[in-house]
Amino acid sequence: MNKTSPDKLKTLGKAVIETEQSALAALIDRIDENFVTACNIMLECDGRVIVIGMGKSGHIGKKIAATLASTGTPAFFVHPGEASHGDSGMITSKDVVMVLSNSGETDEVVALLPVIKRLNTPMVSLTGNANSTLAKAAAVNIDVSVSKEACPLGLAPTASTTATLAMGDAIAIALLEARGFNEDDFALSHPGGTLGRRLLLHVSEIMHTGDGIPKVSEEALLSEALIEMSQKGLGITTIVDKDENILGIFTDGDLRRALDSNIDVKTCLVKDVMTKNGKNICADSLAASALALMEKHSINALVVVDDNNKLTGILNMHDLLRARVV
């Protein structure tokens, strides 16, 4: 087996990146009236965007469809080969078809054009050949041509697929902005992802409530507070008055500081060594906000209160970890 030198491999790799970088740079001037028309066609669509592509264009099409769907534009991918054998029934006159083909002459794609025309479905094409059959059949064609492929043989789709993918992203994000799609919308379409959890999960859903809240009265001894902390296992206890108003908190850190001051654990009242005005948060706040507050103040737990500053729960860093907010 021939062994290529490390420097040669680096040179080859850099050449690919440079070629694709040039292909992407050339796209900037093609964000033109055709781009605007394509976006408006999709914005006016009452159905879905059906993305079609064959081979490598098909792989890129799947990604574009997924990006559109996750950013507020209902979309899915249809394989042109399957469309010729029944899946064209997924396409309706209310939809928009986005067809990808570098040559614009892909047999499986061209074979679908009469069907799309008969359905009177608006079609947007992304091609590398503005004079191709596909480009001429489309309501609007977006030019994604490249001067050369990164493949030294000029055969493997490389720069051309990169350009098509980038243009698809440009369309998706332009539509996202035009629709006013925001973080909450994104979270709803990604409920299982980390961002979804950060944007959808509220403190009330993961906090400790009822008997799970560590709390003692203001007249409790420090030793009693320590027992409560041990039983509840959250590294904190709250100190409340008879009306459940928060007077303060006592944490593992407070215990270390109290012991350093040589107090008598058996006779000391917890209110004399508690932290007053501890950080708190409302139950309807996002769990991500609780995390940000903990990180900002380098603390591991938060008291949860209602609008009247009444104790309603406790949240600690382990709760956020279990909920995969962190």
- Name the E strands within the chain: 49-53, 75-78, 96-101, 123-127, 140-143, 215-217, 236-240, 246-251, 280-282, 301-305, 311-316
pLDDT tens-digit profile of 174-193? 999 898 866 655 555 555 55
Per-residue pLDDT of 297-320, as tens digits, reads: 888 889 998 888 788 999 988 888
Which of 67-76, 192-201, 290-299 has the weakest average pLDDT? 192-201
Tokens 């400790």 correspond to what residue? 208
Determine the pLDDT at residue 166.
97
Express each pLDDT in 120-167 by its tens digit. Answer: 999 999 999 999 999 999 999 999 999 999 887 776 889 999 999 999
282 Cβ contact list (under 8 Å, min separation 6): 203, 304, 305, 306, 307
Distance CA 26, CA 35 (A): 14
pLDDT reading at 205 higher than 60: yes
pLDDT for 85 equals 58
Q: What share of the chain has pLDDT > 90, as a percent? A: 53
Q: What is the structure's pLDDT at 138? A: 97
Q: What is the pLDDT of residues 221-256, one digit of tens each?
A: 998 999 999 999 888 999 998 888 889 999 888 888
pLDDT confidence of residue 246: 87
Nearest to 179 by CA among 45, 77, 30: 45
Distance from C-alpha of 194 to C-alpha of 251, rounded to nearest angstrom: 30
The residue behind tokens 């051309």 is 160
Q: Of 68, 69, 64, which Cα lies nearest the Cα of 166?
A: 64
The pLDDT value recorded for residue 159 is 93
Decide: helix, strand or coil at residue 228: helix
The pLDDT, as a whole number, for residue 145 is 96
Return d(Cα 226, Cα 323) in angstroms, integer: 27
Q: Cβ distance 51 to 65 under 8 Å?
A: yes
Location of structure tokens 């919308």: 185
Q: Is the pLDDT confidence value at 35 over 60?
A: yes
Look at residue 257 in the predicted model and tell me its pLDDT: 87
Q: Please report which confidence band the pLDDT of residue 201 belongs to, taking 50, 70 and 90 as the band edges.
A: confident
Task: Please indicate, yes or no, whether the overall pTM of this predicted structure exceeds 0.85.
Answer: no
Give the C-alpha separation, 37 to 139, whole Å.
9
Mean pLDDT of the chain: 88
Instruction: Extract the runs of DSSP E, i.e. beta strands, from 155-264.
Output: 215-217, 236-240, 246-251
- Range list of β-strands (E), 187-282: 215-217, 236-240, 246-251, 280-282
Kindly state the average pLDDT of the residues 41-47: 93
Q: Retrieve residue 190's tokens.
A: 């990604």
Domains of the chain: 6-181 (3.40.50.10490), 203-322 (3.10.580.10)
Alpha-carbon span 161 to 59, nearest angstrom:
9
